[in-house]
Amino acid sequence: MSQTGRRVSLIDVAVRELEVVRVSDVSPAMKRVTLAGKALRAEAFPPFVSTGFDDDVRMLFPYPGETLPVLPETDESGRVQFAPGRRPIARAYTVRKHDAEAGEIDLDVVLHGDDGVASQWAQAVLPGAPMHIVGPGQTKSLPESPDWWLMYGDDTALPAIARLLEELQPGSRGLAVISVAERAHRIELTHPDTITVHWVDRAEHVAEQGSLPEPSDLLRVAEWPEGEPFVWLAGEQSEVQALRRFVHQTQGVPKTAIDFTGYWKHHRHDTDAANER
């Protein structure tokens, strides 16, 4: 059980050798990369499981000049581990959709314009390209019927929020605040009509107000419904930490009702994300 009361199921981790079968534009700043392979089909062993809206896999990238990424090894007890030494170049991505019949997953990758290996790969990748993934290592259930839902995320959290919105029961009340770099990055979302979606366009905010929005202002965009919320926050690490402080200290929401994850850090060249969680 997680601190927020979400039931955690651990999953046998395997390395899965896949191929890019489709690439499409979700928005001008996000590519949907569809990966396929037998290892994602219903009969695969260990099975690929992704029942939680915020499950993630790690894409493994080769070092420059190499064709294969650093791959983990499976020991005699079946545990998958990276050997000490050269660390894998691994990046976390949310499983936007798993189709076990077709043996496919969709990953929605933000093209953030910095020189990240994953972002650059997604910008240029074509069908036929190979990709190794590991995970998900765990999957978390939805919390038991909160009075209402508060979701905040930036562009990187859009895949998880989109999946959560699609999975919510009809009549679920709540507020989703999504901060994107610019208006053109908004996407169509499917959600119960009792959920309000509020978009924040960072470029417009800077043009109009001269600065980026304060984290606490982000969540003051609309009146909060009555009752005890379940709060889910993801995005740039320091922003998410500030939002959590605001939700807990200013708004009085107990920490046990706040699920928060730093999805990326400013000015960070991350070659060993796989070893951090």
Provide Rg for the chain, Cα atoms: 19
Q: What is the dihedral of CA 215, 216, 222, 228, to 10 degrees?
A: 110
* Cα–Cα distance, 254 to 230 (Å, whole number): 10
User: Strand 130-134 and strand 15-27: pairing?
Assistant: antiparallel
Site map (CB under 6 A) of ligand FAD, residues 47-76, x = contact: ---------x--------------------
The yes or no reply on residue 152 touching ligand FAD (CB under 6 A) is: no
Q: Read off the tokens for 191.
A: 């959600």
Which one-letter DSSP state was computed for residue 249?
I
Residues 6+ positions from 190 with CB-CB distance below 8 Å:
162, 165, 166
Phi and psi angles of residue 207, each rounded to the nearest 5 degrees, phi first: -60, -40
* Cα–Cα distance, 170 to 151 (Å, whole number): 17
Binds ligand FAD by CB under 6 A, chosen from 166, 265, 272, 275: 265
Minimum CB separation of residue 236 from ligand FAD in Å reads 7
Site map (CB under 6 A) of ligand FAD, residues 94-133, x = contact: x-------------xxx-x-xxxxxx--------------
The yes or no reply on residue 140 touching ligand FAD (CB under 6 A) is: no
The yes or no reply on residue 159 touching ligand FAD (CB under 6 A) is: yes
Q: Which stretch binds ligand FAD (CB under 6 A): 62-70, 89-97, 200-208, 245-253?
A: 89-97
69 vs 159, beta carbon nearer ligand FAD: 159
Minimum CB separation of residue 13 from ligand FAD in Å reads 15
The yes or no reply on residue 201 touching ligand FAD (CB under 6 A) is: no
Q: Which stretch binds ligand FAD (CB under 6 A): 3-11, 153-161, 182-190, 197-205?
A: 153-161
Question: How many chain residues bind ligand FAD (CB under 6 A)?
Answer: 27
Q: Read off the tokens for 129.
A: 């390209």
* Cβ neighbours, 10 Å, residue 174: 25
The yes or no reply on residue 263 touching ligand FAD (CB under 6 A) is: yes
50 vs 148, beta carbon nearer ligand FAD: 50
Which one-letter DSSP state was computed for residue 71?
-
The yes or no reply on residue 191 touching ligand FAD (CB under 6 A) is: no
Burial of 187 (0-12, 13-18, 19+ CB in 10 A): middle
Q: Read off the tokens for 164.
A: 């959560």
* Cα–Cα distance, 7 to 139 (Å, whole number): 8
148 vs 185, beta carbon nearer ligand FAD: 185
**Cα 159 to the center of its chain, rounded Å:** 6
Binds ligand FAD by CB under 6 A, chosen from 4, 50, 156, 179: 156
**Cα 51 to the center of its chain, rounded Å:** 14
171 vs 269, beta carbon nearer ligand FAD: 269
The yes or no reply on residue 22 touching ligand FAD (CB under 6 A) is: no
The yes or no reply on residue 93 touching ligand FAD (CB under 6 A) is: yes
Chain residues that interact with ligand FAD, rule: CB under 6 A: 56, 91-94, 108-110, 112, 114-119, 155-156, 159, 261, 263-270
